[in-house]
Amino acid sequence: MTRPLVWITGASSGIGFALAEEFSRQGWRVAASARGAGGLGQLPADTILVPLDVTDEALVANAVASIEAAHGPIDLAILNAGTHRPTPVVDFRPADFRELFTVNVFGTVNGLAALLPLMRARGRGRIAVVASVAGYSGLPGASAYGATKAALINMTEALRVELAGSGVDIRLVCPGFVRTPLTDRNDFPMPFRIEADEAARRMFRALTKGKGFETHFPRRFTFMLKLLRLLPYRLYFPLVRLITGQGR
């Protein structure tokens, strides 16, 4: 039997790199994308390397077509490429928002645009969109990053409803803090931070064995944030100020 094929974007470091290793260890064929050939080159030798910039719509479409032409249908795509930079109110710049939306939202949209027609035509396939708990509700310093992740959550929910019965299974992944080069940029304490290989193991299990729409972890942190977003604003804002030590 042919081994299943996963395509992972943002696989040159952090969560994506750990995912590529985990899927490979579990016997999957892995196609891995990112811009940085250096990071991709550290992946297991039989990894199918597809360097690209997710913000280039035509490149992404060509990459998906060439993976499928050479290796057959993609069974699972994990649209994980993303970036982060703090956007404090004292340094509020449209360029930061443009960059984060271009990579996090449009990079993911480019992947979806390439995959959806193919998967819908064959009535089969799974796509995981990697958002973040930062998209659940507004958090200080993350007005741009959080907004990109909120957009991804909303978009994936909408697509989930539209794709029901099509054979295409779209999933949402909302990690809490994971130790990667991305979170190494943060200068605040990151509660319940886990290692990238643990995140990858959880995602592998959820995306290959679980059936739920959303995968979120670590749960003691994500449930807290889910509760927080249910609060009325008159409680939400003082609590967030208290927890983060930001604002008056």
Choose between 212 and 232: whose C-beta lies nearer to ligand NAP: 212
How many CA atoms lie within 13 Å of 121's alpha carbon, on the beta-carbon side? 7
Span near ligand NAP by CB under 6 A; candidates 53-61, 63-71, 91-99, 214-222: 53-61
Using CB under 6 A, pick the residue from 5, 6, 7, 16 that binds ligand NAP. Answer: 16
Interaction with ligand NAP in 115-154: which residues (CB under 6 A)?
130, 132
Span near ligand NAP by CB under 6 A; candidates 31-39, 62-70, 87-95, 225-233: 31-39
Residue in 136, 145, 233, 236 annotated catalytic: 145
Helix ranges restricted to H, 126-186:
143-163
| Torsion 68-40-22-117 (CA) sign | negative
The answer to whether 66 touches 50, Cβ cutoff 8 Å, is yes
Whether 136 sits among the annotated catalytic residues: the reply is no
Q: What is the distance, to the nearest Å, from the Cα of residue 112 to the centroid of all Cα atoms in its chain?
A: 12
Distance CA 85, CA 83 (A): 7
Distance CA 144, CA 148 (A): 6
Using CB under 6 A, pick the residue from 7, 20, 21, 39 that binds ligand NAP. Answer: 39
Kindly list the catalytic residues. Answer: 145
Contact residues for ligand NAP (CB under 6 A)? 9-16, 34-36, 39, 53-55, 80-84, 103, 107, 130, 132, 175, 177-178, 180-183
